[in-house]
């Protein structure tokens, strides 16, 4: 089925590799239904990553994601959630370099915290994340470019 997914190009990657990442996303057949480049507030970042709030790396994660503007994208295609996760590669860039060297995390990530990109883990998570970052789900997923 056609799905939406929320893709986040994290700070530094959003500045340094934006054009290349956007080209690759389009070449893989994703429609970009919405995009905005902005800082996440600490409050939004904590809510975005709330499933990790008890992890030892939580405060570092929030600090990093708020350290510069993120490129926030609503991507759409058949099987978008899984296909974007494939494009990203494994969470840890060091593992990504071994098993998926062409992936975005292998190419642009430096360590598990600074791993370049994020993607929703399910359609339900995607809806939640889009609502959180774009405010209104149905408005955010109404395509203007096909
Ligand atoms: P992301 O897909 O954005 O979702 C949660 C993030 O937590 C993940 O990417 C990593 O950047 C980060 N993360 C996961 N495990 C660790 C860890 N052990 N140390 C630091 N950061 C981590």
Sorted by where each begins, the domain ranges of the chain are: 2-140
Measure 119 CA to ligand 1 centroid, in angstroms: 12
Is 2-140 a CATH 3.30.70.141 domain? yes
97 is in an annotated binding site: no
Q: Tell me if 61 CB under 6 Å of ligand 1.
A: yes
Whole-model pTM over 0.90: yes
Angle at 124 between CA 76 and CA 52, to 5 degrees: 110
134 with 5: CB under 8 angstroms? Answer: no
Q: Which residues contact 73 (CB under 8 A, 6 or more apart)?
A: 6, 7, 8, 9, 25, 32, 34, 35
Q: Tell me if 121 CB under 6 Å of ligand 1.
A: no
**Region for 117 from its dihedrals, namely left if φ exceeds 0, alpha if ψ lies in -120 to 50, beta otherwise:** beta
Per-residue pLDDT of the chain (146 residues; tens, 9 = 90+): 899 999 999 999 999 999 999 999 999 999 999 999 999 999 999 999 999 999 999 999 999 999 999 999 999 999 999 999 999 999 999 999 999 999 999 999 999 999 999 999 999 999 999 999 999 888 888 865 54
Q: Tell me if 115 CB under 6 Å of ligand 1.
A: yes
105 is in an annotated binding site: yes
């Amino acid at each position: 089925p056609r799905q939406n997914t929320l893709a986040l190009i994290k700070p530094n990657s959003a500045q340094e590799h934006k054009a290349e990442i956007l080209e690759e996303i389009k070449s893989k057949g994703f429609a970009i239904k919405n995009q905005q480049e902005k800082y996440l507030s600490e409050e939004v970042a904590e809510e975005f990553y709330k499933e990790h709030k008890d992890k030892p790396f939580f405060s570092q994660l929030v600090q990093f994601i708020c350290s510069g503007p993120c490129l926030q994208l609503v991507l759409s295609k058949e099987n978008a959630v899984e296909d974007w996760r494939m494009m990203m590669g494994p969470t840890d860039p060091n593992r990504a370099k071994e098993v998926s060297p062409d992936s975005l995390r292998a190419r642009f990530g430096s360590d598990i915290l600074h791993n370049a990109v994020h993607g929703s883990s399910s359609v339900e998570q995607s809806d939640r994340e889009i609502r959180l970052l774009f405010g209104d789900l149905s408005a955010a997923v109404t395509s203007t470019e096909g």
